Structure 1
Amino acid sequence: MKTETIQKYDKGVPRYTSYPTAHLFKPGFTPEMYSDWLKAVPEDMPLSLYSHIPYCDSLCWFCGCHTKITQKYKPIQDYLTSLRKEITMTAEVMGKGRPVNHMHFGGGSPTILIPEDVRDLFQTFEEVFHFTADAEIAVEIDPRDMSQEAIHAWADGGVNRASLGVQDVQEKVQRAINRIQSIEETAQVANWLHESGIHGINMDLMYGLPYQTVESVLETIRRVMEMAPDRIALFGYAHIPSLKPHQRLLPEEILPDFNERFEQQEAAAELLGSYGFVRIGLDHFAKPDDPMAVAFINGSLRRNFQGYTTDKAEAMIGFGASSIGSLPQGHVQNIVPIRNYRAAIDSGKFAVAKSIPFKGQDKLRAAIIEQLMCYHRVDLNVICKEYGASLNDFEYELEAVQAFIEDGIATYDQGVITIQHEARALVRALSALFDEYHGQRELIYSQAV
């Protein structure tokens, strides 16, 4: 696949971790409406929970997350008081003891919490929810603020999967992104995790960062492989300074250009393949016996707000400032500013800010986009049958697909769309054809590649 062809379609498009996408969520969703949505979730429906810890002790200049920098622990303790109250309020509305088969702690940096607060937070969850025996409990880790005692606290809470933020091991790159992190401290945390019985380890890496080259990205992978991770998440840096002003601290002239980014991505994928990793979707890699690779092979891989996942739950509840949840009725997001989130919760009301109820063909199109994002292939006949639709409903989209076919990006055969392996970087661009809302309003997205 010629890079000119790839570049032709390298436009700003959503990441499609949800459909409709978060940019379309609208205000006007009340705590009472959210309460009704929660009550309507079937009692026997397993839940997925997400808990957002929106604090870090330093700012990484590439960061696109909702986080607040603090050197004091008191604001974090105050936030946790509100967070625990929200957890209890939610369980009281839904009924205590609801089954949970997936739990994810994200941020910010969840590992900024001291061990005592980690244990208190787990106790709150365990008092009002029932974690199934095979529940996956995952936490995002910043190795720079992690102690062995803290790892023991997370392990005692039931964590069985951890994602370590690495990004790049080169000092020049680390200084440019304001994240100095030695390979030795990352390896130490990985060892502590294994010693604590947490063996499901993912490493988060990036390409497209300042000063990165193909060789520096490959060297990062080689060093990370010494820690024997089960999964690798290889994200392309999304430079959107208009949305994240701190990214202006990264001079654009030192960012890799399109060709360099594409070469970094493909070289990294090839090297990971040589280590025996299965390439999954757009940016994940897993050992063949890892649950994510197994899910990919057996057709049960999913995609949600955490990215690619083995989580099959049809209801995901978000806790904390800015957290996003997905219920059978639609998506919902909490208030972003921490102070306003706490004020709502402390007054005894849910801190919901906006939502988007499902309507029309939303679930149908979500299923199509998810299949494309996970497998780079979709059988429209199967999905249309499941949702009572027809191929005739997609005359416009199928006509638009023709340009992708003519450029050698995709094929179409009797309702089946397949993205060519060498053009998989453009899966988001092709998925956008089935996005009923894309292009209806002026939005800023990251590039497709």
Structure 2
Amino acid sequence: MTSASLALAERSAPRYTSYPTAPHFSADVGPDQAACWLAELSPQANLSLYLHVPFCPAICTYCGCHTKALRQDAPLTSYKETLLREIELVAASTPARHVRAIHWGGGTPSMLGPSRFREVAHVLGEQFDIARDVEHAIELDPRLVDAALADALVVSGVNRVSLGVQDFNPHVQKAAGREQPYEVVERCVAILRAAGLEAINFDLMYGLPEQSVDDVIRTAKLAAGLAPSRLAVFGYAHVPWFAVHQKLIDQAALAGANERLAQAEAVRATLEAEGFEAIGLDHFARPQDTMAQAAREGRLRRNFQGYTTDEADALIGLGVSSIGRLPQGYIGNIGDTGNWRRSVEAERLPISRGLAFSAEDRARGAVIERLMCDFSVDFGAIAAAHDFREDAFDDAVPRLSTLLDEGLVALDGRRLTIAPRGRPFARLAAAAFDAYLEAKAARHSVAV
């Protein structure tokens, strides 16, 4: 790697699971605006629902999610009751009913327990028209999965689960604050398959404290041996200014840019050798998987859950801190449980922030999404399709100069293509089209 490429790898950039990104949301969009936008949805619109449960039995040191430790049962019942009321409030605010995708995240959403989970899923089915072929997914902590939970998930219509694996090496688990032996994950997978859940995703990580190239290769091989449908491989984001518990991690134990790149490449090579197809920046799937098919056909999408096959017209977020994407813009829920509950009890949508799309936002967002999904985009053609001049986004070209000089991207007219060895730098290429990045300073994780 050249010194210029190394410097690029050390730069920070948004993950671009949205555009504009969340730091640019403001209180200019609140409950009244959100209610108007929901009311304007077509009765024929297809919906995706995201439900956030912000609780975990303990906080993993590496975690950057919006969650808190909880060891009592009563707050879970209270949270469930408010979530049910929010579902009813949102359903009453829009004529749209057709749900094509449901995703539960956190936190650890399974902390609701089998009975509360079934109750929430039942109310979703009462308030919305759930498609028979809905993808109903949930994020799970393998340490908390038992047969009763697995059966409740199946009864509730869940048909895809995502397991937080991260790493299988005991010394890395200890350094990252997530001790979870291989046998625990193996047992979890067996329980889920016995209940009939075959679509199982794994989340792995590189760049964790004390982690080496050999460690990530071992983890990738063990993970592949459990035959998941898909894997997501994320670079650890050290953001202690946002996730204060990350201050417990010894920064000297973290890999530098060269090592992170080597780890990412080692995971990719290992999983491809095991028969998985690389998708986008950080996902892998079997060639016959629907996500692999979507990637090959240029239909891959990107939202707050990362890469997805979800093509819904609107994403509605439910629960504390959840974010929705409507045709008119983004809406974000209140971030603390008390104020979220008080808003719902007052029959008021618990929206605290958001952003209304401009025509330029839509066009630049389309450029960034295709670049992140396909590693190639004709930004002139997209500009023209959105009624702008073909040269409207030429301001990005000077910001691509180092990537171009290093051969990490290539430009043919206004067709920008990321080279295979430049794919770890995709976020930096996308950032060249971000009109907000320099307008308002925001701290992000390193790009690689």
User: Above 0.5 in TM-score?
Assistant: yes
Task: Name the CA distance, whole Å, in 2 between partners of 1:93 and 1:51.
Answer: 17
The equivalent of 2:245 in structure 1 is 246
1:56 maps to 2:61: no
Task: Name the CA distance, whole Å, in 1 between partners of 2:93 and 2:243.
Answer: 36
The equivalent of 2:159 in structure 1 is 160
1:266 maps to 2:265: yes
Do the aligned partners of 1:3 and 1:259 also contact (CA within 8 Å) in 2? Answer: no
The equivalent of 1:16 in structure 2 is 16
Task: Name the CA distance, whole Å, in 1 between partners of 2:429 and 2:193.
Answer: 40
Quote the offset at 1:331 in angstroms.
Answer: 0.4
1:367-393 deviation line (CA, Å, top 9, x unaligned): 000011011110224312321222221
Q: What are the residue-to-residue correspondences of 1:372-387 with 2, within 5 Å?
A: 372-387=371-386
The equivalent of 1:82 in structure 2 is 82
Quote the offset at 1:150 in angstroms.
Answer: 0.6
Cα distance, 1:5–1:29 mapped onto 2, change above 3 Å: same
**Divergent runs of 4+, >6 A:** none
The equivalent of 2:44 in structure 1 is 44
Task: Name the CA distance, whole Å, in 2 between partners of 1:322 and 1:371.
Answer: 27
Gaps of 5+ in 2: none
The equivalent of 2:29 in structure 1 is 29
Paired amino acid for 2:26 = K
Q: What are the residue-to-residue correspondences of 1:59-208 with 2, within 5 Å?
A: 59-95=59-95, 98-208=97-207
The equivalent of 1:7 in structure 2 is 6
Task: Name the CA distance, whole Å, in 2 between partners of 1:51 and 1:376.
Answer: 30
Task: Give 3-state SS (helix, strand or coil) of 2:391's partner.
Answer: helix
Paired amino acid for 2:44 = D
State the percentage of identical aligned residues: 39
Paired amino acid for 1:181 = Q
Task: Give 3-state SS (helix, strand or coil) of 2:100's partner.
Answer: strand
TM-score, scaled to structure 2: 0.98
Quote the offset at 1:29 in angstroms.
Answer: 2.6
Do the aligned partners of 1:148 and 1:189 also contact (CA within 8 Å) in 2? Answer: no
1:224-258 deviation line (CA, Å, top 9, x unaligned): 12210011100000001111111000010111111
Quote the offset at 1:63 in angstroms.
Answer: 0.6
Paired amino acid for 1:98 = R
Gaps of 5+ in 1: none
Task: Give 3-state SS (helix, strand or coil) of 1:179's partner.
Answer: coil
Do the aligned partners of 2:142 and 2:184 also contact (CA within 8 Å) in 1? Answer: yes
Task: Name the CA distance, whole Å, in 1 between partners of 2:3 and 2:280.
Answer: 22
TM-score, scaled to structure 1: 0.98
Quote the offset at 1:134 in angstroms.
Answer: 1.2
Quote the offset at 1:30 in angstroms.
Answer: 2.8
Paired amino acid for 1:263 = A
Task: Name the CA distance, whole Å, in 2 between partners of 1:402 and 1:245.
Answer: 36
RMSD: 1.2
The 10-residue stretch of structure 1 (195-204 or 122-131) with the greater mean CA deviation from structure 2: 195-204
Do the aligned partners of 1:281 and 1:374 also contact (CA within 8 Å) in 2? Answer: yes
Do the aligned partners of 1:221 and 1:268 also contact (CA within 8 Å) in 2? Answer: yes
Cα distance, 1:264–1:346 mapped onto 2, change above 3 Å: same
Paired amino acid for 1:215 = D
The aligned length equals 447
